[in-house]
Amino acid sequence: MGFARTCSVALVGVEGVVVEVQADLEPGVAAFTLVGLPDKSLSESRDRVRAAVVNSGGEWPQKKLTVGLSPASVPKSGSGFDLAVASAVLGASERIDPKVLADIVMIGELGLDGRVRPVRGVLPAVLAAADAGYEQVVVPECTAAEAALVPGISVLGVRSLRQLIAVLTDEPVPEEEPTEAGRPDPMLAGLCVPGTGAGTGLGGALDDAHALDLADVVGQRAARTAIEVAAAGAHHLFLQGPPGAGKTMLAERLPAILPRLTREESLEVTAVHSVAGMLPPGRPLVDVAPYCAPHHSATMQSLVGGGKGIARPGAVSLAHRGVLFLDEAPEFSTQTLDSLRQPLESGHVVIARSAGVVRLPARFLMVLAANPCPCGRHTLLGDGCECPASAVRRYQARLSGPLLDRVDLKVEVEAVTRSELAGCATGGESTRTVADRVRAARERAAARLADTGWRTNSEVPGHALRMRWPAAPGALEAAEVDLERGFLTARGLDRVLRVAWTVADLAGHDRPTAQDVALALQLRTGISRGVPMVIGAPA
């Protein structure tokens, strides 16, 4: 009788649970039994592992073989357990010393020829292993750079089961034939799977966002100010205006003026993208703010996450620490839009399924864009709107009041005039200039919030702002009048105060002045308060 054990990781959302893989050999009729709540893809590992061991020069034990995955109560899915199962079987048959395997975490899929194929979710799996106290992990060679992002853990990247056996038995490590130049590498197929996760239009911000310059946007002084305030304080934004006014252009340029992600934020974002299978090959760390723009036909599951079995990340999680842009927002279903209320408030989304409850990060900057009516000409001068008043009301009512109450900035985007287009050679400020101001404002806010768990003004509760960081005397008078008249809710007043602090940070003020609050009210309600839509402009 032989027994061996090693470890792997089961992912539940973007959180990992270390699983002990045990292999037991007993005399009897040759059979292979896999227990421990495996799914279909994991149950099929019996055939993959047997073929991989035989084709790697090993001998498959002709005994009764039982492989157990403990804890058995945790659902286990995917092919990432193959490497651990094969190693445990080889340890039970004494091909590998069982003592060597006991404290190693193994992650990887096996091909029938013994090659180790990459799987999604390597980074969160290694993070879970490190949190559990393990110091050694074995992963596919092409994901070794991703695993090495976790500090304090030794990473071994292998191309085949033969190489792993040689390393663990102190034998000469065989060289695997590299992929011929010019031929596609099939090993990369496990890293980025089209159509998985959400299929939400992600990717532009990772490579092309910095090529998009705010100087390309003609006019739109109010909208440009709103974009800057939104970036500096991570405030949600609603852009309403006729087609062709530049709403999408502004949203696409927003990620480029956001500060680069910190190390901790980069690991959070990379973990989500790794689980979703949307991590670009050759780029193991996402260090810029992601940009996610789902189509208005997206379902609620693709937006907030879901799917069969264990829920997978949706668009709100793929936009974590970045921008979620909902173009043509009224065209989304009402149920889909209202599902955003929880992540907008809490910064995460909780999805309950029969297979378990998953908590996914979802702290994003939301940008809504909408036309004023179905035809888009409701506010244009000289071009009459053909929509009846009832159609305009129904169209605008698709964005519910509770959802819009969670949006800090509401701006009317006016149509660009001929004179503005003719003078486009002297356009507005560039992305680099605005990004420098945004970074400076974020640093002021970070210094003020250094001893708290908050990072941006949009995260600070209203009572903390009123008690710990009050505005200048009399600065909130106009906002309090609006509250009494019913123009603002209590939540709206808190959000005005948050925006006022962001405006003060951009202007270099020690605390919000009456003009900062007036500009915040103007951005919040869309009603002119007699102040110019420029940060720090004289009254």
Q: pLDDT digit string (tens) for 302-326?
A: 899 887 766 788 999 999 999 999 9
Indicate if the pLDDT at residue 193 is higher than 60. no
Beta bridge partners of 4: 23
pLDDT classification of 199: cutoffs 50, 70, 90: very low
Q: Are 61 and 27 in contact (CB under 8 A)?
A: no
Q: Are 198 and 313 in contact (CB under 8 A)?
A: yes
Strand order in the sheet with 2-12: 31-35, 64-70, 15-26, 2-12, 104-106, 136-140, 154-158
What's the pLDDT at 75? 84
Query: Which residue has tokens 């959802």?
Result: 403
Q: Are 269 and 288 in contact (CB under 8 A)?
A: no
Rounded (5°) CA angle 195-273-440: 130
Average pLDDT (166-172) is 94
Q: Are 237 and 368 in contact (CB under 8 A)?
A: yes
383, 207, 377, 225: which is closest to 278 by C-alpha? 207
At 12, the amino acid letter reads V
Average pLDDT (120-140) is 95
Indicate if the pLDDT at residue 4 is higher than 90. yes
Query: Which residue has tokens 């480029």?
Result: 256
Contacts of 315 (CB under 8 A, 6+ apart): 198, 200, 202, 292, 294, 298, 302, 303, 304, 324
Alpha-carbon gap, residue 240 to 62, rounded angstroms: 70
> pTM of the prediction?
0.88
Indicate if the pLDDT at residue 539 is higher than 60. no
Average pLDDT (212-238) is 90
Task: Please list the alpha-helical segments (H only) found in 325-461.
Answer: 334-338, 341-346, 389-397, 401-405, 418-422, 431-448
pLDDT tens digits, 77-113: 889 999 999 999 999 999 999 999 999 999 999 999 9
Indicate if the pLDDT at residue 209 is higher than 50. no
What's the pLDDT at 405? 86
Say what the alpha-carbon torsion angle 393, 396, 397, 399 is, to the nearest 10 degrees.
180
Which of the pair, 61 or 414, is modelled with greater confidence?
A: 61
Q: Are 106 and 8 in contact (CB under 8 A)?
A: yes
pLDDT classification of 520: cutoffs 50, 70, 90: very high
390: exposed, middle or buried (Cβ count in 10 Å: 0-12, 13-18, 19+): exposed
pLDDT classification of 208: cutoffs 50, 70, 90: very low
What's the pLDDT at 203? 46
pLDDT tens digits, 16-68: 999 999 999 999 899 999 999 898 888 999 999 999 999 999 999 999 999 99
pLDDT tens digits, 364-402: 999 999 998 888 877 665 567 888 889 888 998 899 888
In the chain, % of residues over pLDDT 90:
54
Average pLDDT (135-144) is 94
Task: Please list the alpha-helical segments (H only) found in 429-489.
Answer: 431-448, 462-468, 477-485
Q: Are 91 and 6 in contact (CB under 8 A)?
A: yes
Exposure string for 289-323, b = 16+ CB within 10 A, e = fewer: bbbbbbeeebebbbbbbbbeebbbbbbbbbbbbbb
What's the pLDDT at 187? 63
What's the pLDDT at 205? 42
Averaged confidence pLDDT in the chain:
87
Beta bridge partners of 368: 238, 326
Average pLDDT (344-356) is 83
E-strand ranges in 75-179 read 104-106, 109-110, 116-117, 136-140, 154-158
Q: What are the φ/ψ torsions at residue 158 (nearest 5 degrees)? A: -125, 150
Lowest-pLDDT choice from 207-211, 334-338, 357-361, 472-476: 207-211
Indicate if the pLDDT at residue 204 is higher than 90. no
Which of the pair, 185 or 315, is modelled with greater confidence?
A: 315
Lowest-pLDDT choice from 52-61, 231-240, 350-359: 350-359
Alpha-carbon gap, residue 47 to 432, rounded angstroms: 55
pLDDT tens digits, 447-474: 999 988 888 999 998 888 888 888 888 8
What's the pLDDT at 34? 95
Alpha carbons within 13 A on the beta-carbon side of 92: 28
What's the pLDDT at 194? 52
What's the pLDDT at 423? 65
Average pLDDT (241-270) is 91
